[in-house]
């Protein structure tokens, strides 16, 4: 079967004044939301309380006549009983004064393990955090309310460098450019706005420089060998080599480091994975999930904006926050933290349901057929006793074991993973 690439995005950095950029950004986003609202069946929206989904919900409400949106506006959100992972106050801030019918789900451990095999069946592969379960419940709730189409904020972060680690990528980029004045200004802004130490900022930024050079990669492999080849993982059985996967492709060397990471995350790593989760979760509940931030006209514009429009003064999504000034409440528009449909996974593992997770971990070690070693239990004890910072790897081990068992994945005589048989639901 011949495979041909039919579309390549332009990589020509745009120029223009800040004010006109804000106006054009908002215009393109409004147009995209309008297009994605076209439907002959009921339409709802995801609402996490973050910047991206809140913007979609607010734009729909403020432009109802223009959009000819004649149905009751409905939103679907995930909450938490643990305040640290709960965004209810931001959701309420977005909904305040609006005639919107809001629906909520609250993920818990009992429901997680009740649904886990069905969830991973639809996903087809292990997934990195329990947030996928929160999204599953949100889509399930929409299905129960007879919603057939759901607008979501997926894709807004990758094209604009919206994740917090882009602060460090930006600092690394400024170091490579030798832009001393802006470098100092950004480091000070990150320190003040995000309460991060100067040493931490520089160390994290240096990481992105090192992992993109051959000498730097060898240095990191040597000093991070324990993390790259943990005792709980049998690399020999997997016939795996220690490697450093975070290098961005050389095919886009005309771009600076910051934009190379944006391009790589949009088209190769982060976003394709997130869209996989979204697509499987939505279709499992007979929903069409739509993502206005990935309209090709919008992406082509945003991805080619200069870095100063994307990140500035320690603020990510700079142009977006400016464009939404009169649309979003400042409590949401100016928030510096970032969650999404999160679950209190750390609390579940370390406090509330520690024994259940330990039992699931023990089961996963057995089901992995030697790939995961008993050292995983030692890691679990270190984390739950507070001697080691929480690491989502505990969940990843558990879900890997369940996946191997569900799909009967085995190790053949050549010690290479193969799919033996599948039991259908």
pLDDT at 424 over 50: no
**What tokens does 151 get?**
């607008």
Q: Which domains are delineated in the chain?
A: 18-159+265-333 (3.40.50.620), 352-419 (no CATH)
**What's the pLDDT tens digit per position in 260-297?**
999 989 998 999 999 999 999 999 999 999 999 999 99
Residue 419, pLDDT score: 40
**What's the pLDDT tens digit per position in 84-104?**
999 999 999 999 999 999 999
Which residues are bridge partners to 288 per DSSP?
149
Angstrom distances, CA of residue 315 to CA of 186, 194, 256: 9, 10, 19
Q: Please tell me what DSSP assigns to residue 312.
A: E
Question: What is the rounded distance in angstroms from the CA atom of residue 78 to the CA atom of residue 96?
Answer: 18
> Helix 18-36 vs helix 296-303: angle between axes, to the nearest 10 degrees?
160
Q: Which is nearest to 135 in space by CA: 41, 47, 37, 39?
A: 47
Question: What is the rounded distance in angstroms from the CA atom of residue 94 to the CA atom of residue 253?
Answer: 41
Q: 161: which residues sit within 8 A by CB, 6+ positions away?
A: 169, 170, 258, 261, 262, 307, 310, 311, 316
Handedness of CA 85, 196, 169, 315 (dihedral sign): positive
**What's the pLDDT tens digit per position in 32-86?**
999 999 999 999 999 999 999 999 999 999 988 877 778 899 999 999 999 999 9
Residue 242 burial (CB < 10 Å; 0-12/13-18/19+)?
exposed
Residue 415, pLDDT score: 47
SS3 call for 417: strand
Residue 317 burial (CB < 10 Å; 0-12/13-18/19+)?
buried
Beta carbons of 60 and 357 less than 8 angstroms apart? no
Residue 337, pLDDT score: 86
**What is the H or E stretch that residue 74 is in?**
strand 74-78
Higher pLDDT, residue 354 or 20: 354
Residue 283, pLDDT score: 97
pLDDT at 219 over 90: no
Question: What is the rounded distance in angstroms from the CA atom of residue 55 to the CA atom of residue 50?
Answer: 9
Taking the CB of residue 21, how many other CB atoms lie within 10 A of it?
22
pLDDT at 425 over 60: no
């Amino acid at each position: 079967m011949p495979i041909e690439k039919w579309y390549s995005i332009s990589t020509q950095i745009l120029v223009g004044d800040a004010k006109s950029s804000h106006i054009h950004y908002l215009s393109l986003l409004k147009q995209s939301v309008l297009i994605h609202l076209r439907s002959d069946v009921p339409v709802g929206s995801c609402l996490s309380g973050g910047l991206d989904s809140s913007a979609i919900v607010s734009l729909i409400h403020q432009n109802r006549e223009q959009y000819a949106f004649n149905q009751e506006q409905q939103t679907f959100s995930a909450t938490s009983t643990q305040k640290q992972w709960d965004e209810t106050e931001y959701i309420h801030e977005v909904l305040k004064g609006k005639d919107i019918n809001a629906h909520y789900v609250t993920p818990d451990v009992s429901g997680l393990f009740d649904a886990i095999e069905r969830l991973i069946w639809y996903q087809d592969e292990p997934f990195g955090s329990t947030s996928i379960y929160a999204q599953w419940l949100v889509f399930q709730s929409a299905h129960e309310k007879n919603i057939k189409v759901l607008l979501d904020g997926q894709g807004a972060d990758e094209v604009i460098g919206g994740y917090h680690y882009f602060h460090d990528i930006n600092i690394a980029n400024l170091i490579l450019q030798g832009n001393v004045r802006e470098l100092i200004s950004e480091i000070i802004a990150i320190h003040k706005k995000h309460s991060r130490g100067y040493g931490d900022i520089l160390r994290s930024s240096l990481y992105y420089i090192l992992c993109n050079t051959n000498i730097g990669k060898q240095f990191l492999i040597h000093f991070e060998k324990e993390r790259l080849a943990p005792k709980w993982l049998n690399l020999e059985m997997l016939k795996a080599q220690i490697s450093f996967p975070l290098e961005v492709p050389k095919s886009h060397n005309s771009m600076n480091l910051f934009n190379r990471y944006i391009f790589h995350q949009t088209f190769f790593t982060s976003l394709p994975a997130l869209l996989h989760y979204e697509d499987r979760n939505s279709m499992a509940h007979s929903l069409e999930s739509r993502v206005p931030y990935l309209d090709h006209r919008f992406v082509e514009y945003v991805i080619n904006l200069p870095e100063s429009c994307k990140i500035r003064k320690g603020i990510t999504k700079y142009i977006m926050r400016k464009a939404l000034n009169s649309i979003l409440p400042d409590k949401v528009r100016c928030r510096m933290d970032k969650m999404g449909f999160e679950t209190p996974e750390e609390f579940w593992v370390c406090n509330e349901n520690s024994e259940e997770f330990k039992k699931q971990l023990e089961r996963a070690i057995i089901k992995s057929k030697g790939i995961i070693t008993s050292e995983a239990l030692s890691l679990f004890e270190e984390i739950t006793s507070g001697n080691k910072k929480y690491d989502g790897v505990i969940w990843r081990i558990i879900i890997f074991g369940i996946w191997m068992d569900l799909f009967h994945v085995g190790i053949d005589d050549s010690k290479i993973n193969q799919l033996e048989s599948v039991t259908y639901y």
